[in-house]
Amino acid sequence: MHKGAKVYVAGHKGLVGSAILRKLQAEGYSNIVTRTHQELDLTNQQEVYRFFETERPEYVFLAAAKVGGILANSTYPAVFIRENLLIQTNIIDAAYRYGVKKLLFLGSSCIYPKFAPQPIKEEHLLTGALEPTNEPYAIAKIVGIKMCQAYNKQYGTNFISVMPTNLYGPGDNFDLETSHVLPALIRKFHEAKVAGAPHVVVWGSGTPRREFLHVDDLADACLFLMNNYDSSEIINIGVGKDLTIAELANLIKEIVGYKGEIVFDTSKPDGTPRKLLDVSKLFNLGWRPRIRLEDGIRSTYEWYMQNYT
């Protein structure tokens, strides 16, 4: 991907898209195309076709998606499956029709079976039942993967699919109803600290294990793969190690400087017991993450303080 190539970042306002945009700009890519949701409705096929016909991007990072945590996925399953299917179908098809040289599709680690062997290898896709709380979202993402593979097979396109682990970082969603666990905990501990609350309630038992990747590391991996990977086979992006939700909560508590207690509400769902990605395929290509979890949480908390409080 040469520095003057026309690159379209779909979803540039979101957590992932904004990180990819920052990375491209930092690396000297000067011909980047973006559109806000108000300027271009990605669920509208005719609007998307018109945009691709006019702009003719050479490369596409497909980071636009309807995303959320357990509560949002459980509450709005129809919205999650419909919007994600429409967005990715419209962009993938337009990329083929209007001659895009290469497209990178952002999947999610939730595509894998709930009880997949750990760490999860790419070939574990479709070998078991999904986690029920985010099944509609996961199925939409699986359709996106299969669509990229089908277009490559039938039309000779170069569409690659990457599966990131749990993400966090600047630009994250800190809404307690729709956010993922890490930003939700940052907000909970900060608000409890400010209010002098005696305890913070954390959903579930605290025993599930999760892996967390800073979104700037993800963006770095995406650019690396756009330049170094051309297979239809999906590829995991992660750090290769995990920790329990209880360990995460204690780490965030320490970084925020909250002095109260942590109470685990076991009436709330735990979700998947463990979700660690096997990242040997990516590491063997020569990529490694750079941001330590503690440093990443610290900088994310600083971003939250500047932008939310």
Share of the chain above pLDDT 70, in %: 100
In angstroms, rounded to a whole number, what is the distance separating the alpha carbons of residues 45 and 39?
14
Is 190 marked within a binding site?
no
The continuous run of DSSP H or E covering 267 comes out as none
Q: Is the pLDDT of residue 73 over 80?
A: yes
Query: Which residue shows structure tokens 């967390």?
Result: 212
- The pLDDT value given to residue 146: 98
User: Cα–Cα distances in Å, from 101 out to 7, 92, 98, 226, 282?
Assistant: 10, 12, 9, 11, 22
In this prediction, residue 134 has a pLDDT band, given cuts at 50, 70 and 90, of confident
Give the closest residue to 110 by CA, choosing from 81, 149, 82, 152.
Answer: 81
Number of other CB atoms surrounding residue 80 within 10 Å: 24
Q: Is the pLDDT of residue 309 over 80?
A: no
- The pLDDT value given to residue 192: 98
> Count of domains in the chain?
1
Question: Which amino acid, residue 241?
Answer: K
Q: Is the pLDDT of residue 199 over 90?
A: yes
Q: Residue 73 domain-assigned?
A: yes
- Cβ atoms of 149 and 232 within 8 Å: the answer is yes
Per the prediction, the chain carries an average pLDDT of: 96
- The pLDDT value given to residue 79: 95
Residue 167 token pair: 């993400």
- The pLDDT value given to residue 93: 98
Q: Which of 29, 112, 137, 304 is catalytic?
A: 137
Residue 214 DSSP label: E
- The pLDDT value given to residue 166: 93
Q: Residue 198 domain-assigned?
A: no
Cα Rg, the chain, nearest whole Å: 19
In angstroms, rounded to a whole number, what is the distance separating the alpha carbons of residues 225 and 229?
5
Q: Residue 200 domain-assigned?
A: no
Question: Which amino acid, residue 106?
Answer: L
Structural domain range at position 26? 7-169+212-240+276-292
- Three-state DSSP class for 222? helix
The string of pLDDT tens digits covering residues 272-307 is 788 899 999 999 999 999 999 999 999 999 999 999
Average pLDDT over residues 243-263: 98
Q: Residue 223 domain-assigned?
A: yes
Average pLDDT over residues 178-182: 85
Q: Is the pLDDT of residue 270 over 90?
A: no
- Cβ atoms of 272 and 114 within 8 Å: the answer is yes
- The pLDDT value given to residue 70: 75
Is 165 marked within a binding site?
yes
Is 206 marked within a binding site?
no
The string of pLDDT tens digits covering residues 82-108 is 999 999 999 999 999 999 999 999 999
- The pLDDT value given to residue 69: 74
In this prediction, residue 157 has a pLDDT band, given cuts at 50, 70 and 90, of very high
CATH number at residue 68: 3.40.50.720
In angstroms, rounded to a whole number, what is the distance separating the alpha carbons of residues 221 and 289?
8
User: Cα–Cα distances in Å, from 79 out to 72, 87, 182, 184, 190?
Assistant: 10, 12, 23, 22, 31
Between residues 309 and 198, the one the model is more confident about: 198
In angstroms, rounded to a whole number, what is the distance separating the alpha carbons of residues 114 and 131?
5
Is 23 marked within a binding site?
no
Between residues 153 and 76, the one the model is more confident about: 153
Q: Residue 113 domain-assigned?
A: yes
Q: Is the pLDDT of residue 245 over 80?
A: yes
In angstroms, rounded to a whole number, what is the distance separating the alpha carbons of residues 70 and 133?
6
Q: Residue 114 domain-assigned?
A: yes
Give the closest residue to 27 by CA, choosing from 65, 59, 72, 73.
Answer: 59
Q: Residue 112 domain-assigned?
A: yes
Q: Residue 133 domain-assigned?
A: yes
Active site residue 8: no
